[in-house]
A and B are shown apart, each in its own frame.
Chain A
C-alpha cells in the first residue's frame, strides 16, 4: 500500500476514530492488527517472518533478565539479528561470493525473493536496541507480546523509520491516550505537509536526480552540477516527507516517534549535520555502536575515539546497503567528522576575528556542499558510476539541459525556497517564529479561514502532483 495514497490516508483517519472509541486495553491490539494488515499488503510471507522474528526477540528479552548467562543469551540474540539481516540484505555482497569461491552452486538471494525484505533494516536495529537495553538493565523486558510486536512493526514507521527505541515507544502504550483534538489536528497537518514535501517537491525532482544516475553516459557537465546541488534537497524532502507522514499518523493515535530531522541544512559542520539529519539512525549508531566501542577500547585513549568513529560510520554506511559506494559514504562522513574534531581549536583560532554572520553562512554552505558531494556515493549504483560522475563534472561546458528548465521545476524550486526560508526563520528568529506560530494556531475566524485555505492549496498540490508515483528513497533500506 502506498503511504502517499489517498486510500492510506483515509484509512488512517477512519482508524483514528475506531482507536479512540475502543477501551484503552484494546487499542494497542488494534494498532498491531492494522500494522499486520499493512505489512500483508506487501507480502504475507514477510508478515509471517516479522512475527517469528518478534517472537524470538521477545523470548530472548524475557530470558535475559532472569538468566545467569546473560552475555551468552545476548550474543545469541545479536547473532540471530545480524544473520537474518545479512541473509536478507547482504547476501549478494557477502555469502554468495563466498559460496562461489568455495564452488557451491547456491544462490541465497532466493531468501530475499521469497520474504521481500521491506523495512528489515529498520526493525532489526529496533530489535538489537531492545536486547541491548534489556541486557544493560536500562529497561525491563516487555511482557505483553502484542505491545512488543507493535514496537517492531508500527505501520507508519515500518517502511522507512524513524528508528525507534523500545524505552521510548513501549511506555507510551501503557499510558491511556485520551482524545486530544490539538494532537489529532497536529497529526493531520503533519501528514498533509509530509505529502506535500514528498509529492510536490521530491517526486518532481526525482526524474532530474534519478534520471541522471540512470543514464550517466549521456549526462552533461551542467546537468550533473545541478544534480550535485539539488540531490541533498531531493533526499531531504523525500525522507522528511515520509517522516512527517509517519509522525502525523502516529500523533493522531496519541503516540510520539523519535525525531528524525531538525533543519539539517542549517548545520555549520558535518558533526552538527548528523545531529540534525536522520537523527534517529545517527543517534542509534552513536548510542549502540560508537559509545559501546569507545567504552570497550577506552584504554586506547584518543585512539579509541578515532577507532570508534570509523567503525561507527563504516557500519552506518553498510547499513544503507551492500556495496562499496555505501561504505565510502560512511568513511567520508567519518573523515569529515575526524577533521572537524581534530582541527577544532586551530579553526576557532583562525576564524576568531571573522564576523559571525558570514562565518555561519560559510559553514552552512560548506556543509551542504560536502553532503551533496558525498551523496554521489549514495545515489550512484556502483563505483564506476561514481568515477564517471566526477569525471564528467570537468570540463565545464554546455547549457542548462532543457529537462530541468521548465516551469514545473521552477515551481518546485519555489516550494523549496519557501520551506527552507521557513526553516531558517524557525532556527534563527525563534521569538518571531513563536509569535507567528501562535497566530497560525489561533482559533479566530480569519486565522482559521487562512489556515484552511493553506490546507486546501496544499491538498490540491498533493493530489495533482501525486500522479508521478515515486517510491520513498529510504524504502529500499
Chain B
C-alpha cells in the first residue's frame, strides 16, 4: 500500500495535499473498491464546501462509495477528465486521479502518512 508522506489523510480514505489543495481517493480505497467504472463529481468550481461534505460519488464493479471533503474552502477546480476515464482512480490515485482542488482551505482532522498506514493495517 502506498501513502506518500507529502499528503494528509482522512479516516474515510481521502487524501489532501496541503501544498496544492488537491483532494483524491487513497490507494487503499481504490484497491478495496477494485475496478472503478464511474465517477461523478458532485460539486462545481466556485462552490463552498465544508469538511465531510460529499464531493464525489464513485462506483466500482462491486461497490459504490462517496468521497468526502477533507478540508473546508472554495472549490477552485474539478478534474473534468476523470469522468471520461474513471479507471485513472485505480491507476494513478495520487496523480491524474485527483478529484477536486480546494482553495483557501481549512483542513479537518487529518492523519499523516505513517498514522494512515497504521490505520489501514488495523483494518485489514
A and B co-occur in one complex: no
